[in-house]
Structure 1
């Protein structure tokens, strides 16, 4: 069992999106539980990819290939996982703030959060404050992740964070994006800041007191 799970992990890290589903299916056919395949095959790969990305040993195009491979494996597992009682670590809404049309960074963060066990609802790019409010009221998330990839959209990040805080939602607010840093996150009153996908996973777990 360990050998086939390691093969899945290695294939995801290598970005082999065509091979991962085949080996995931082989693992299922061998009687390995879908949850075990998820945790010890797919998610374990993210434990490799995250630190490599953070250290600069792996770049965004490579990480996106890993994301595609992860997603391909999840497509095989999701119907099976949906049948069971698989509680997520928490629910997260993610989106880029108004005026920001960039989605690669946001998508990468969403993928890493999802592959780490969070339920992620991606509302997309260029989202106004009222749109985030509607999503919160509809889904009641534990965390709202706001992305700003341009210096020109940092004011929108501040505005949305302020508005959500004033509404008194229970959701924690996590912010990130190329021009954003911890100091700015503190300045606008966000609950957490993440530099990248790996950081978003760590910060989200901290915000929800998950070991």
Structure 2
């Protein structure tokens, strides 16, 4: 077991998606539980990569390669995880606002939340306010994650929060926002529950929200498409 887990970790570090996928399949065939693959194989390495990124030791291309390798593992594990309700730590709805076609940062947050054990409903990009509201009504998520990468689309985030209030839904869901032009000050101004400057911070912030704490994680780096 230890050897296969270590090989998965090595594949993540190298960003070798095919290798990680094959080793994940092998781990399952050997009887290793999906939960153990995630908690012992994926999460420690992705946390380490996040720390190195924040320290300036590695850069966005390296992070993307490792994230895609993690996604290859999650692709194998997803059918098992979706059949095991206990595997889900909570439900997250995520999307990029209307008028904005950027998705790299959003996709990384989605992948890493899935890797951390959450059920993620990814609405995609260019999502109008009404669709965010409908998703909250339909899925009753614990957290709504909203992304904007353009200064011109920041107002869309505000609109989503305002409509949640108008529909009486605001108290039912925690809201986390992020993206290049988003700032902690803007998040506080629109009364979001959390802000994260990048995907690694987003995971920490969501963990805090799930524990009933406000999660504001601010660093200087941002992901851009």
Q: TM-score by structure 2 length?
A: 0.87
Equivalent positions of 1:186-205 (< 5 A) are: 186-205=188-207
Equivalent positions of 1:159-198 (< 5 A) are: 159-169=159-169, 170-198=172-200
Alpha-carbon distance between aligned partners in 1 of 2:151 and 2:159, rounded to the nearest angstrom: 14
Equivalent positions of 1:42-53 (< 5 A) are: 42-53=42-53
**Residues 154-174 of structure 1 deviation map (CA, whole Å, 9 limit, x = unaligned):** 111112122213323201110
Between 1:91-100 and 1:36-45, the stretch displaced more is: 36-45
Between 1:142-151 and 1:166-175, the stretch displaced more is: 166-175
The 1:196/1:69 distance shift into structure 2, 3 A limit, reads same
Between 1:144-153 and 1:80-89, the stretch displaced more is: 80-89
Between 1:181-190 and 1:6-15, the stretch displaced more is: 6-15
The 1:85/1:158 distance shift into structure 2, 3 A limit, reads closer
Between 1:180-189 and 1:155-164, the stretch displaced more is: 155-164
**Residues 112-154 of structure 1 deviation map (CA, whole Å, 9 limit, x = unaligned):** 2111111111101111111101111111100101111011111
Shift of 1:199: 0.8
Equivalent positions of 1:128-167 (< 5 A) are: 128-167=128-167
Equivalent positions of 1:25-64 (< 5 A) are: 25-64=25-64
The residue aligned with 2:7 is 7
Alpha-carbon distance between aligned partners in 1 of 2:158 and 2:212, rounded to the nearest angstrom: 27
Residues matched between the structures, number: 211
The 1:84/1:143 distance shift into structure 2, 3 A limit, reads closer
Between 1:3-12 and 1:146-155, the stretch displaced more is: 3-12
Q: TM-score by structure 1 length?
A: 0.92
Contact 1:112 1:201 (C-alpha < 8 Å) held by counterparts: yes
Alpha-carbon distance between aligned partners in 2 of 1:207 and 1:85, rounded to the nearest angstrom: 20
Shift of 1:93: 0.6
Gaps of 5+ in 2: 214-225
Gaps of 5+ in 1: none
**Residues 86-120 of structure 1 deviation map (CA, whole Å, 9 limit, x = unaligned):** 33111111111111111111111111211111111
